[in-house]
């Protein structure tokens, strides 16, 4: 069995998608459609920067999605590889879940871009800049990270945001609590904590205003039926029902990204090959979780050509 997986925020970089757009009309069409949907030249920011603009949450989220969908379209149109034929399920890390849903037809490309733009704006607006923070805990498993978060909270919010793999967990909450967690990390048997360069404390209860905004957005743009099952971040379980997925996307804004458990669930279900499209971020995480699985990450035309030959 094969899973197609999609990266989340942090995988953006200036120049992303530029070579693919030069090489393929299918990729150019994706970037043009996203530009039109957002009424902005996001593709120019992706290609030329400045990096500060690309890193803005409201730009980074649709940009990462657009790059991954462009990669998928090239695979499908240039190399004749159908996701529905060659995949058994899909998953994505945080915003990557929206990319996965776009890939299997739950949202149109234009709607996905608009939803992610709104999601980025709402997440940024939920907490004033400087009030929240996130930190990566290196050498931490979920038990150690949970205990540390509880110890550091001290009446503030400090919660596990991302359970990425057996060696890395991300926490999120009030800046003071996150700073305390970094100071206490070694006492909890954790190698170290590193403050992340993010503009808001994603995937914690401070994001409730953004969750409310997404719930309202889905009133007008609900997910439709999709062609392959999606493994949802907040349950680490397979979803096939569009209404259920809609509720899970709202919960995802404040909920933990259970990536390690999602990969374990896919592996338990029989997935032996994970294909990351549009990045080389979640693939390495998979390698640390499902050590016997084959992992392929595809970004360039050369990557896609090799992948097409591999999966035929």
Superfamily the domain 2-126+206-311 falls into: Malonyl-Coenzyme A Acyl Carrier Protein, domain 2 (3.40.366.10)
pLDDT value of residue 9: 87
Identify the active-site residue in 94, 172, 199, 297: 94
Name the residue among 87, 71, 89 with its Cα closest to residue 79. Answer: 71
Q: Respond yes or no: is residue 94 known to be catalytic.
A: yes
Residue 274 has pLDDT above 90, yes or no: yes
Task: Report residue 197's pLDDT band, with 50, 70 and 90 as the boundaries.
Answer: confident
pLDDT value of residue 191: 96
Task: Report residue 80's pLDDT band, with 50, 70 and 90 as the boundaries.
Answer: very high
CATH fold label, 132-198: Alpha-Beta Plaits (3.30.70)
| Sequence-distant (≥ 6) Cβ neighbours of residue 30 within 8 angstroms | 66, 69, 70, 73, 109
Identify the active-site residue in 11, 172, 203, 297: 203
Element at 39 (helix H, strand E): none
Q: In the 8-state DSSP scheme, what is residue 3?
A: E
Residue 198 has pLDDT above 90, yes or no: no
For residue 311, the SS3 value is helix
Q: Respond yes or no: is residue 24 known to be catalytic.
A: no
pLDDT digits (tens, 9 = 90+) for 282-293: 999 999 999 999
Share of the chain above pLDDT 70, in %: 100
Distance CA 92, CA 4 (A): 8
Every domain of the chain and the residues it spans: 2-126+206-311, 132-198
Q: What is the mean pLDDT of the chain?
A: 96
Q: Residues 135-159: what's their mean pLDDT? A: 97
Task: Report residue 129's pLDDT band, with 50, 70 and 90 as the boundaries.
Answer: confident
Q: Is pTM, for the whole model, over 0.95?
A: yes
Q: Measured between alpha carbons, how far is residue 94 from residues 85, 212, 220, 304 in Å?
A: 25, 17, 21, 24
pLDDT digits (tens, 9 = 90+) for 25-50: 999 999 999 999 999 999 999 999 99
pLDDT value of residue 11: 86
């Amino acid at each position: 069995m094969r899973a197609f997986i999609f990266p989340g925020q942090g995988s953006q970089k200036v120049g992303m998608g530029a070579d693919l757009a030069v090489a393929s009309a299918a990729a150019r069409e994706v970037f043009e459609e996203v530009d039109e949907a957002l009424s902005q030249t996001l593709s120019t920011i992706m290609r030329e920067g400045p990096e500060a603009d690309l890193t803005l949450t409201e730009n980074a989220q649709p940009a990462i999605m657009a790059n991954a969908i462009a990669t998928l379209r090239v695979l499908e149109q240039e190399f004749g590889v159908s996701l529905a034929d060659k995949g058994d399920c899909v998953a994505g890390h945080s915003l990557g879940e929206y990319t996965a849903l776009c890939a299997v037809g739950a949202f149109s490309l234009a709607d996905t871009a608009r939803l992610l733009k709104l999601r980025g704006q709402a997440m940024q607006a939920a907490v004033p800049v400087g009030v929240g923070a996130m930190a990566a805990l290196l050498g931490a498993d979920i038990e150690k990270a949970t205990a540390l978060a509880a110890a550091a909270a001290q009446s503030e919010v400090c919660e596990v945001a991302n359970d990425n793999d057996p060696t890395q967990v991300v926490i999120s909450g009030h800046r003071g609590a996150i700073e305390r967690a970094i100071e206490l990390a070694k006492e909890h048997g954790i190698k170290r904590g590193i403050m992340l360069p993010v503009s808001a404390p994603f995937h914690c209860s401070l994001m409730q205003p953004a969750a409310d905004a997404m719930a309202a957005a889905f009133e007008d743009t609900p997910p439709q039926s999709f062609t392959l099952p999606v493994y949802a971040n907040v349950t680490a379980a397979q979803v096939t029902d569009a209404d259920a997925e809609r509720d899970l996307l709202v919960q995802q804004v404040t909920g933990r990204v259970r990536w390690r458990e999602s990969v374990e669930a896919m592996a338990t279900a029989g997935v032996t090959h994970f294909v990351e499209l549009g990045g080389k971020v979640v693939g390495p995480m998979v390698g640390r979780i499902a050590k016997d699985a084959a992992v392929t990450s595809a970004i360039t035309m050369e990557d896609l050509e090799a992948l097409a030959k591999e999966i035929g």
